[in-house]
Amino acid sequence: QLQLQESGPGLVKPSETLSLTCSVSGGSISSSLHYWAWIRQTPGKGLEWIARIHYTGSNYYNSSLKSRVTISVDPSRNQFSLTLRSVTAADTAIYYCARRGHDYGGAFDIWGRGTMVAVSS
Amino acid sequence: DVQMTQSPSSLSAAVGDRVTITCRASQSVDSGLAWYQQKPGRAPKVLLYKVSILESGVSSRFSGSGSGTEFTLTISNVQPDDFATYYCQHYNGVSYAFGQGTKLEIK
């Protein structure tokens, strides 16, 4: 059973850079059939898709975050990562990594448990 | 970008009721519409995808329908385990958008 696990700092200072990693276990990230994504959840804005990537490196970003975000993949480590620059309190959220299911019409079929990130000095 | 609007934002139901949640898109969408269930402290779980295809292992009491700009999630014979928050999600081929959620509470 494929599983996803997010890791990263629970606290980041304003204006700094947030870095998160999603480790994939029980399966390979190097599947041509799947895409991998970061999604966050805040009480105010609900669920917000941030970015997605294919193991080949093909990526796409939410236009509202594109200027501050980088998503990357490391097939050798079976991981993908998120970098969010110049964070503010508005970036405080639970961050999830997820897999876009094959032939699911864009739905995410497997999610990590999420990691809470607070932006505060 | 497509905006997804769910209604109602919350609703109360008794065990055994049938409930319907609506998701409206700001512009016509194709079949890239999914529904998720989320319980407190847990990640969302996909219930239906491509509008009406039931995810493996999900109860047949959940069903989805719709086209164009209006889609619905129906829960028949609501059970205690169904009390949760439900989200719709659209995919247009490049980006993804979620509705703001509908909280189903016990009456």
Q: What pLDDT digit, counting tens, does each position of A71-110 carry? A: 999 999 999 999 999 999 999 999 999 999 999 999 999 9
- Residue B90 β-bridge partners: B33, B97
**Band (B31; pLDDT cuts 50, 70, 90):** confident
SS3 A2: coil
B100 phi, psi to nearest 5 deg: -85, -5
Nearest Cβ partner for A104 among B49, B87, B94: B49
Using DSSP bridges, classify how beta strands A115-119 and A11-12 pair: parallel, antiparallel or unpaired: parallel
Residues in A closer than 8 angstroms to B34, CB to CB, are 104-108
**Band (B19; pLDDT cuts 50, 70, 90):** very high
Q: Within the 28-87 window of chain B, which residues sit less than 8 Å (CB to CB) from chain A?
A: 31-34, 42-46, 49-51, 53, 55, 87
Residues in A closer than 8 angstroms to B100, CB to CB, are 46
Residues in A closer than 8 angstroms to B101, CB to CB, are 46-47
CA distance A11 to chain B (A): 19
Whether the pLDDT of residue B59 is over 90: the answer is yes
Please tell me the predicted confidence (pLDDT) of residue A44: 80
Residue type, B69: T
Nearest Cβ partner for A49 among B31, B42, B96: B96
Mean pLDDT, residues A109-115: 98
The pLDDT mean for chain A works out to: 97
pLDDT digits over B61-95, tens only? 999 999 999 999 999 999 999 999 999 999 988 89
Residues in A closer than 8 angstroms to B44, CB to CB, are 47, 96, 108, 111
Task: Please report, to the nearest 10 degrees, the dihedral formed by the alpha carbons of residues A72, B90, B12, B44 taken in order.
Answer: -20
Question: How far, in Å, CA of B46 to CA of A109, rounded?
Answer: 6
Contact at CB, A48 and B89, closer than 8 angstroms? no
Question: How far, in Å, CA of B42 to CA of A42, rounded?
Answer: 14
CA distance B83 to chain A (A): 18
Nearest alpha-carbon partner for A106 in A58, A25, A52, A31: A52
Instruction: Using a CB–CB cutoff of 8 Å, tell me whether B6 touches chain A.
Output: no
Mean pLDDT, residues A40-45: 89
Whether the pLDDT of residue B1 is over 90: the answer is no
The pLDDT mean for chain B works out to: 96
Residues in B closer than 8 angstroms to A112, CB to CB, are 43
Mean pLDDT, residues A34-45: 93
